[in-house]
Amino acid sequence: MTPIISAAELAAELAGPTPPVLLDVRYRLGGPHGRPDYEAGHIPGAVFVDLDAELAAPPGDGGRHPLPDVAAFGAAMRRAGVSAGTPVVAYDGDKGWGAARAWWLLRWAGHARVRVLDGGLAAWDGPLETAVPAPVEGDFTPRPGALPLLDADAAAAVARDGLLLDARAGERYRGEVEPIDPVAGHIPGAVSAPTGENLDAEGRFLAAGDLAARFSALGAGPDGRTVGVYCGSGVSAAQQAVALELAGYVPALYAGSWSEWSGDPARPVATGPDPS
């Protein structure tokens, strides 16, 4: 199953015999909580999912958005109505980051039928509602391991022996600014690949061929090298993972990302435009 769905395709599926479970994952890095936006209007039937509370564990040694406890994540998804055999569509209101986090976690946990609404809520031209649904509890049980996951040591190995993409803005990669984490710079050997370059001017993913050309130019190729991705805390990197899958790769996500890496003073840091 392709990792994205258009607004027109979603409207058709919602009107069909097996409508997908809809997850509203509106989230902004450092911004206000997404719940008020959800309550002001959401795609009919969508359930709000709190990224900080339900798609991540509390901040700590594992970074600002560590992976959630598997049992707690499964319970949150069941409350949202997710079942093993039911398709799921996640959307957000900005860049696809929050929706991609839900997509990646569900895929990693063994759910095969998950997609991101291409273009997010802005692409939806159907009705919105303010009523909060009460979905029938689902039966989804997480079985982690369906997608590759990197820890800090494995990310360093991919940066050395494969291709590790840094999904943050270029100025953060270069170490010119660091508004959130304690140290500026990037993992030595990682290649800058900002997530904004995966999208067109309307916020939709580029065509698969264009994405493949982008990642090929960054060093990905058919030689079997592992392609890994990280960001600040493992959220925007999930959007990069969607783009990589569209381009034909099976990306490995470093969930702790820069917030975990930079929290350990023993780990090396590179600055400037060059990977090393």
SS3 of 59, please?
Answer: coil
Nearest to 101 by CA among 143, 135, 63, 54: 54
Please give the torsion angle defined by the CA atoms of residues 229, 234, 240 and 241, in that order, rounded to the nearest 10 degrees.
80
Q: Which of 21, 117, 152, 231 is catalytic?
A: 231
Residue 171 and residue 168: Cα distance in Å, rounded? 8
Q: Residue 23 carries which DSSP code?
A: E
75 phi, psi to nearest 5 deg: -65, -40
Ranges assigned E (strand) in 175-262:
191-192, 227-230, 252-254
C-alpha Rg value of the chain to the nearest Å: 18
Residue 231 annotated as catalytic:
yes
Annotated active-site positions, please?
Answer: 231
